[in-house]
């Protein structure tokens, strides 16, 4: 699994444009959440979600991250926390209604960034970076997608992996 991430990352950064500034976004949806109280708009992770959050940490073990971003919800912050802690990075909050803003682009230019979002925002974020509608909304039972979107010399490319 880690080997696949490293290979994909290598493919993105080993292009002829390598001397240019490379920005890479690793976009994931939050891990599985508690569904006991359906009126709870801000649930924590369930047991499987905690395991998945730790799996994400393992996936990113050999990936050099410069920043970790999350929406301001328990499930996204708890998904980001193991990876951020392992990298000794703070979790920066972003507003999903203002994703990939000029300010965000400026702050993340030339960096490798993990972004944790939701089933209805993660694919939108990837599409905004790509400048085209390539990805559809994530199914509610899917917490395993990893979108790797790289911007090299102003041109964006991506790959979608499923990490189980």
Q: Which two tokens stand for residue 134?
A: 């390539």
State the Cα–Cα distance between residues 32 and 11, nearest whole angstrom: 30
CATH code at 2-162: 3.40.50.1240
State the first-to-last Cα distance of the chain, in angstroms, to the nearest integer. 9
Is the torsion defined by CA of 138, 29, 13, 16 positive or negative? positive
Identify the pLDDT of residue 1: 58
Domain boundaries, given as residue ranges, for the chain: 2-162
Residue 20: the pLDDT is: 79
The 10s digit of each residue's pLDDT in 100-122 is 999 999 999 999 999 999 999 99
Residue 143 in tokens = 């917490």
Each residue of 114-125: b (16+ CB within 10 Å) or e? bbbbbbebbbbb
Exposed e or buried b per residue across 20-32, where buried means at least 16 C-beta atoms within 10 angstroms of its C-beta:
eebbbbbbbbbbb
Query: 62-79: per-residue pLDDT in tens?
Result: 999 999 999 999 999 999
**pLDDT at 164 (0 to 100):** 86
């Amino acid at each position: 699994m880690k080997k696949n991430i490293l290979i994909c990352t290598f493919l993105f950064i080993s292009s002829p444009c390598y001397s240019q500034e490379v920005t890479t976004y690793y976009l994931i949806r939050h891990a599985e959440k508690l569904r006991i109280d359906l009126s709870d708009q801000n649930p924590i992770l369930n047991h499987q979600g905690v395991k998945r959050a730790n799996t994400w940490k393992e996936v990113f073990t050999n990936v050099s991250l410069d920043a970790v971003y999350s929406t301001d919800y328990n499930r996204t912050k708890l998904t980001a926390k193991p990876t951020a802690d392992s990298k000794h990075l703070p979790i920066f909050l972003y507003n999903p209604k203002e994703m990939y803003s000029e300010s965000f682009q400026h702050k993340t230019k030339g960096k490798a960034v993990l972004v944790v979002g939701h089933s209805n925002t993660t694919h939108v974020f990837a599409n905004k970076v790509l400048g085209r509608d390539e990805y559809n909304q994530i199914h509610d039972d899917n917490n395993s997608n990893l979108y790797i979107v790289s911007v090299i010399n102003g041109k964006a490319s991506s790959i979608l992996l499923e990490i189980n």
